[in-house]
Chains A and B, each alone.
Chain A
Amino acid sequence: MSAGPLQMQYADLAQQRDTAELGIWAFLATEVLFLGGLFAAYSFYRYLHPYGVAEAARHTYIAIGATNSVILLASSFVMSWAALAVQGGAMRLGGRLMMLVAGLGVLFVVLKGVEYAGELSEHLWPGPSFAIATDEPRVGEVFYAMYWLLTGVHALHLMIGVIAVVVIGRRVLRGAFSRDYHVPVRVVSLYWHFVDVVWIFLFVIIYLPGRHL
Chain B
Amino acid sequence: MTVAFADLEPPVVAESYLSDGTSLRSWLLTHDHKRIAILYMISITVFFFVGGAAAAMIRLHLMTPAGALLDPETYNRVFTLHGVVMVWLFLVPSIPTTFGNFLLPLMLGARDLAFPRLNLLSWYLFVASGAIVLGGLISGSVDTGWTFYEPLSSGYASGALVVVLFGIFVNGFSSILTGLNFVVTIHRLRAPGLTWYRMPVFCWSTYATSLILMLATPVLAITLLLVIAERLWGVGVFDPAHGGDPILFQHMFWFYSHPAVYIMILPGMGVISEIIPAFARKNLFGYKFVVWSSIAIAAVGFIVWGHHMFIAGESVYAALVFSFLSFVVAVPSAIKVFNWTATLHKGTISFDSPMLYALGFVLLFTIGGLTGLFVATLAFDVHVTATYFVVAHFHYIMVGGMVSAYFAALHYWWPKITGRLYAEAWARFAAILIFFGFNLTFFPQFILGYLGMPRRYHAYAPEFQVWNVLSSAGSSILAVAYLLPAFYLGWSLLRGARAPANPWQATGLEWQTVSPPPTRNFARTPVVTQPPYQYPRTGS
Given A9-B112, A37-B223, A149-B229, A30-B237 contact (CB < 8 Å): no
| Cβ contacts under 8 Å, A149 to chain B | 225-226, 229, 235, 237
Given A9-B110, A37-B219, A138-B242, A45-B237 contact (CB < 8 Å): yes
B116 touching A9, Cβ below 8 Å: yes
Tell me how far the C-beta of B45 lies from the nearest C-beta in chain A, rounded to whole angstroms.
28
| Cβ contacts under 8 Å, B244 to chain A | 142, 145
Given A1-B118, A38-B222, A141-B242 contact (CB < 8 Å): yes
The answer, among B188, B221, B229, B255, for a CB contact under 8 Å with A15, is: B188
Tell me how far the C-beta of B88 lies from the nearest C-beta in chain A, rounded to whole angstroms.
17
A160 interface hit (Cβ, 8 Å): no
In the assembled complex, the Cα of A139 lies from the Cα of B218 at a distance in Å of 26
In the assembled complex, the Cα of A3 lies from the Cα of B497 at a distance in Å of 45
B520 interface hit (Cβ, 8 Å): yes
In the assembled complex, the Cα of A15 lies from the Cα of B525 at a distance in Å of 15
B243 interface hit (Cβ, 8 Å): yes
Closest to A147 in B: B235
Contact mask B236-275 → A, CB, 8 Å, 1/0?
A: 1100001111001000100100000000000000000000
The answer, among B112, B115, B218, B255, for a CB contact under 8 Å with A34, is: B218
Closest to A44 in B: B248
What are 30 A-B contacts with C-beta separation under 8 Å? A7-B116, A9-B111, A9-B114, A19-B184, A22-B184, A23-B180, A26-B180, A27-B180, A29-B215, A30-B214, A30-B218, A34-B221, A34-B222, A37-B218, A38-B226, A41-B226, A41-B248, A44-B245, A44-B248, A45-B245, A125-B235, A126-B235, A138-B242, A139-B243, A142-B243, A145-B237, A145-B242, A149-B226, A149-B229, A153-B225
B183 interface hit (Cβ, 8 Å): yes
Given A9-B189, A35-B222, A41-B237, A26-B214 contact (CB < 8 Å): yes
| Cβ contacts under 8 Å, A10 to chain B | 189
| Cβ contacts under 8 Å, A127 to chain B | 234
Interface residues on A, range: 35 or more
In the assembled complex, the Cα of A33 lies from the Cα of B226 at a distance in Å of 15
Q: Main SS of chain B's interface residues?
A: helix
B219 touching A33, Cβ below 8 Å: yes
| Cβ contacts under 8 Å, A30 to chain B | 176, 180, 214-215, 217-218
B113 interface hit (Cβ, 8 Å): yes
A8 interface hit (Cβ, 8 Å): yes
A145 touching B235, Cβ below 8 Å: yes
Tell me how far the C-beta of B475 lies from the nearest C-beta in chain A, rounded to whole angstroms.
37
| Cβ contacts under 8 Å, A26 to chain B | 180, 183-184, 214
In the assembled complex, the Cα of A22 lies from the Cα of B181 at a distance in Å of 10
The answer, among B117, B214, B219, for a CB contact under 8 Å with A1, is: B117
Interface residues on B, range: 35 or more
| Cβ contacts under 8 Å, A137 to chain B | 243
Q: Main SS of chain A's interface residues?
A: helix
| Cβ contacts under 8 Å, B216 to chain A | 33
In the assembled complex, the Cα of A23 lies from the Cα of B219 at a distance in Å of 19
B187 interface hit (Cβ, 8 Å): yes
A40 touching B252, Cβ below 8 Å: yes
| Cβ contacts under 8 Å, A135 to chain B | none
In the assembled complex, the Cα of A154 lies from the Cα of B234 at a distance in Å of 19
Tell me the chain A residues, 122-155 only, with Cβ under 8 Å from chain B: 125-127, 137-139, 141-142, 145-146, 148-149, 153
Closest to B519 in A: A8
| Cβ contacts under 8 Å, B226 to chain A | 38, 41, 149
| Cβ contacts under 8 Å, A180 to chain B | none
The answer, among A19, A27, A125, for a CB contact under 8 Å with B189, is: A19
The answer, among B214, B225, B237, for a CB contact under 8 Å with A146, is: B237
A50 interface hit (Cβ, 8 Å): no
The answer, among A15, A23, A41, A126, for a CB contact under 8 Å with B115, is: A23
A31 touching B188, Cβ below 8 Å: no
Tell me the chain B residues, 318-342 only, with Cβ under 8 Å from chain A: none
Tell me how far the C-beta of A119 lies from the nearest C-beta in chain B, rounded to whole angstroms.
13
Tell me how far the C-beta of B36 lies from the nearest C-beta in chain A, rounded to whole angstroms.
13
A36 interface hit (Cβ, 8 Å): yes
Tell me how far the C-beta of B205 lies from the nearest C-beta in chain A, rounded to whole angstroms.
18
In the assembled complex, the Cα of A100 lies from the Cα of B296 at a distance in Å of 46
A34 touching B219, Cβ below 8 Å: yes
Closest to A41 in B: B237
In the assembled complex, the Cα of A163 lies from the Cα of B342 at a distance in Å of 56
In the assembled complex, the Cα of A34 lies from the Cα of B223 at a distance in Å of 9
In the assembled complex, the Cα of A40 lies from the Cα of B118 at a distance in Å of 30
B236 touching A126, Cβ below 8 Å: yes
Tell me how far the C-beta of A201 lies from the nearest C-beta in chain B, rounded to whole angstroms.
15
Tell me how far the C-beta of B293 lies from the nearest C-beta in chain A, rounded to whole angstroms.
23
| Cβ contacts under 8 Å, B111 to chain A | 8-9
Given A9-B111, A34-B219, A22-B188 contact (CB < 8 Å): yes
Closest to B210 in A: A26
| Cβ contacts under 8 Å, A15 to chain B | 188-189
| Cβ contacts under 8 Å, B189 to chain A | 9-10, 15, 19
In the assembled complex, the Cα of A148 lies from the Cα of B229 at a distance in Å of 10
A23 touching B237, Cβ below 8 Å: no
B243 touching A138, Cβ below 8 Å: yes
Closest to B521 in A: A9
Tell me how far the C-beta of B156 lies from the nearest C-beta in chain A, rounded to whole angstroms.
19
10 additional A-B residue pairs with CB within 8 Å, beyond A1-B115, A9-B105, A30-B180? A8-B520, A9-B112, A18-B188, A37-B252, A126-B242, A127-B234, A142-B242, A146-B237, A149-B226, A149-B229
In the assembled complex, the Cα of A153 lies from the Cα of B235 at a distance in Å of 13
In the assembled complex, the Cα of A11 lies from the Cα of B6 at a distance in Å of 11
Closest to B230 in A: A145
In the assembled complex, the Cα of A141 lies from the Cα of B235 at a distance in Å of 8
